[in-house]
C-alpha cells in the first residue's frame, strides 16, 4: 500500500450539527445559515442528524430533508457524513440509501441502542450496510448512550469490509486508539467523538474529531486541530486551555441544550429543543457564558 493509498478518507474538524427549531418546527433557514457559518470558519466536514442533531426526535421526513439540504448547501466544499443510525437495521438501511441518493459522502452509523445485540449481531448489522448500500460507512461507538460497546476485535473484523472506512470513537479511551491503529490496515479513519480528549487522541495517531464544540467555536477548533496535526503541541495545548471549559460545560445539561443556548447567545438559532430534552437549565447558562468568554467568543 502506498502512502497516498493510506491517507484516511476523513480527517479534520467535522461538526456534529445541531438541528435548529423555531416554534416547534425545524428552522431550515437557520440550518442553511449554520452550514454556511461552519464552512466559512474552515471546518473540514459536517454531520447532520447525529446525536447532537436530535435525530431521535425528528420525523423520517425531517431527517431526510435535513440531510438533503446539508448536501445542497455544502455543494462539495466540505464532506457531509449523514447520520443514519438506528437500532432497526432495516431503518438504518433506508436512511443510508437516502443519504447516497442525495449525494452524501458517507454515513455515520451508531451501535444499535436499547436492543443490546451481541458482538456477532453488531457485526451483521454493519455488514448489512456494507453489503446493501454502496456508500462509505463510519462506525460510531458511544457506549455511554448505547449500553453496548463494540469491541476492538469486532472493529478490526469490520475494518476488513470495503465500505467500512472509519470510526467515531466517543469512549474517551485513548489506549484503544493505539491498539486499533496497530491492528488495522492504514487508510482507516480514526475520528474522536469526544472533544476534551481530541488533543490526546491525535497524539495517539487519530485523524480528527466529530465535534460538538465546533458548533459554537468552529475556527478555534480548527486552530487546535491544525496545530496538533503539525505536531505543534504547545500551540495545541494553548487552544485546548481556551476551550476546555466549553468542551465540558456543553455537557453540563442534557445535550444539545447547552450548545443551543450558546448558539442563541451568538444569534445563530433559538435555544429550542424537543422533549424529552428541555432547554438549558438556568444554573448552567452562566457557566456556558463564562466558558464562551474563556474561549474568546
Respond yes or no: is residue 140 known to be catalytic. Answer: yes
d(CA 112, CA 96): 15
Q: List, in sequence order, the alpha helices (H) in the chain.
A: 28-40, 60-74, 89-102, 119-132, 143-146, 152-159, 174-183, 198-203, 218-229, 233-249, 257-265, 285-294
Respond yes or no: is residue 113 known to be catalytic. Answer: no
118-147 burial string, b = 16+ CB within 10 Å, else e?
A: eeeebbebbbebbeebebbbbbbbbeeebe
Helix (H) or strand (E) holding 13: strand 12-16
Could you tell me how many residues make up the chain? Answer: 297
Catalytic residue among 79, 100, 168, 260: 168
Catalytic residue among 140, 201, 225, 261: 140
Please, what is the Cα angle at 34 between 33 and 37, to 5 degrees? Answer: 85
d(CA 63, CA 53): 9
d(CA 238, CA 295): 11
d(CA 115, CA 199): 33
d(CA 16, CA 75): 18
Residues known to be catalytic? 140, 168
Amino acid at each position: 500500500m502506498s502512502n497516498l493509498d493510506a491517507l484516511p478518507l476523513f480527517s479534520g474538524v467535522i461538526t456534529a450539527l445541531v438541528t435548529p427549531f423555531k416554534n416547534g418546527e425545524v428552522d431550515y433557514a437557520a440550518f442553511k445559515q449554520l452550514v454556511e457559518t461552519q464552512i466559512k470558519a474552515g471546518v473540514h466536514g459536517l454531520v447532520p442528524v447525529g446525536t447532537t442533531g436530535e435525530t431521535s426526535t425528528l420525523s423520517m421526513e425531517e431527517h431526510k430533508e435535513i440531510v438533503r439540504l446539508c448536501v445542497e448547501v455544502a455543494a462539495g466544499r466540505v464532506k457531509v457524513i449523514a447520520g443514519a443510525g438506528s437500532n432497526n437495521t432495516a431503518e438504518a438501511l433506508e436512511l443510508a440509501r437516502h443519504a447516497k441518493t442525495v449525494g452524501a459522502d458517507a454515513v455515520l452509523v451508531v451501535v444499535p441502542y436499547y436492543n443490546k445485540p451481541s458482538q456477532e449481531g453488531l457485526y451483521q448489522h454493519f455488514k448489512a450496510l456494507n453489503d446493501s448500500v454502496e456508500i462509505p460507512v463510519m462506525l460510531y461507538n458511544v457506549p455511554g448512550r448505547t449500553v453496548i460497546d463494540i469491541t476492538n476485535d469486532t472493529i478490526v473484523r469490520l475494518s476488513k469490509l470495503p465500505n467500512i472506512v472509519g470510526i467515531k470513537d466517543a469512549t474517551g479511551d485513548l489506549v484503544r486508539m493505539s491498539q486499533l491503529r496497530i491492528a488495522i490496515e492504514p487508510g482507516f479513519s480514526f475520528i474522536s467523538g469526544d472533544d476534551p480528549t481530541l488533543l490526546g487522541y491525535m497524539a495517539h495517531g487519530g485523524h480528527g474529531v466529530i465535534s460538538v464544540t465546533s458548533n459554537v467555536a468552529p475556527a478555534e477548533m480548527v486552530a487546535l486541530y491544525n496545530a496538533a496535526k503539525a505536531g505543534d503541541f504547545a500551540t495545541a495545548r494553548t487552544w485546548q486551555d481556551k476551550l476546555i471549559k466549553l468542551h465540558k460545560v456543553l455537557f453540563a445539561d442534557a445535550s444539545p441544550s447547552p450548545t443551543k443556548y450558546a448558539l442563541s447567545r451568538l444569534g445563530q438559532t433559538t435555544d429550542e429543543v424537543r422533549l424529552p430534552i428541555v432547554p438549558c437549565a438556568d444554573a448552567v447558562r452562566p457557566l456556558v457564558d463564562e466558558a464562551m468568554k474563556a474561549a474568546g467568543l
